[in-house]
Amino acid sequence: MNLSVVGGLAAVFFVFGASIFLSLGGVASIIDIPSIVIVFGGTIATSIIAVSPSQFKAMIKMIQNRIIKKEKVNYAKLVEEIVVLAKAYRKGTSSFDQAVKQASSPFLRDAASILFWTEAEVTPDEFRNLLDTRAMTYFKDAMSHPKAFKTIAKFPPSYGMMGTIMGLVALLRSLSNPDAKSTIGPAMAVALITTLYGIAINNLFLIPVAEALTSQGDDELKSYNIVIEGIMLIQEKKPTKYIEEKLVSYLMPNERPAEIK
- pLDDT attached to residue 84: 93
Concatenating the DSSP letter of every residue in 30-99 gives G--HHHHIIIIIHHHHHHHHHS-HHHHHHHHHHIIIIIIS-----HHHHHHHHHHHHHHHTT-HHHHHHH
CB of 145 closer than 8 Å to CB of 213 = yes
- pLDDT attached to residue 69: 65
Residue 62 has pLDDT above 90, yes or no: no
Mean local confidence (pLDDT), 186-205: 84
Domain ranges of the chain: 1-31, 32-261
Torsion of CA 111, 116, 121, 125, to 10 degrees: 40
High-pLDDT (> 70) share of the chain, %: 90
Which pTM does this prediction carry?
Answer: 0.74
Q: For residues 23 and 74, which has the higher predicted lDDT (pLDDT)?
A: 74
Q: State pLDDT tens for residues 247-261.
A: 999 888 877 776 654
- pLDDT attached to residue 134: 93
User: What is the rounded CA–CA span in Å between residue 231 and residue 8?
Assistant: 38
High-pLDDT (> 90) share of the chain, %: 28
- pLDDT attached to residue 260: 54
Average pLDDT, the chain: 84
Angle CA 200–66–206, to nearest 5: 15
- pLDDT attached to residue 71: 66
- pLDDT attached to residue 125: 87
Please compute Rg for the chain using Cα positions.
27
Instruction: Check residue 103 and report its DSSP letter.
Output: -
Residue 242 has pLDDT above 70, yes or no: yes
- pLDDT attached to residue 119: 61
Neighbours of 257 (CB within 10 A): 17
Torsion of CA 47, 35, 28, 203, to 10 degrees: 40
Residue 2 has pLDDT above 70, yes or no: no
Residue 78 has pLDDT above 80, yes or no: yes
Q: State pLDDT tens for residues 101-140.
A: 999 899 999 999 888 766 667 788 888 999 999 999 999 9
Mean local confidence (pLDDT), 22-46: 84
Q: For residues 204 and 182, which has the higher predicted lDDT (pLDDT)?
A: 204
Mean local confidence (pLDDT), 218-233: 92
Element (H, E) at 110: helix 106-112
Neighbours of 46 (CB within 10 A): 17
Q: What is the 3-state secondary structure (H, E, C) of 188-253?
A: HHHHHHHHHHHHHHHHHHHHHHHHHHHHHHHHHHHHHHHHHHHHHHHHCCCCHHHHHHHHHCCCCH
Neighbours of 100 (CB within 10 A): 20
- pLDDT attached to residue 72: 76
3-state secondary structure of 259: coil
Buried b (16+ CB within 10 A) or exposed e, 20-43: beeeeeeeeebebeebeebbeebb
Residue 1 has pLDDT above 60, yes or no: no
Residue 220 has pLDDT above 80, yes or no: yes
- pLDDT attached to residue 3: 66
CB of 5 closer than 8 Å to CB of 67 = yes
Mean local confidence (pLDDT), 73-101: 90
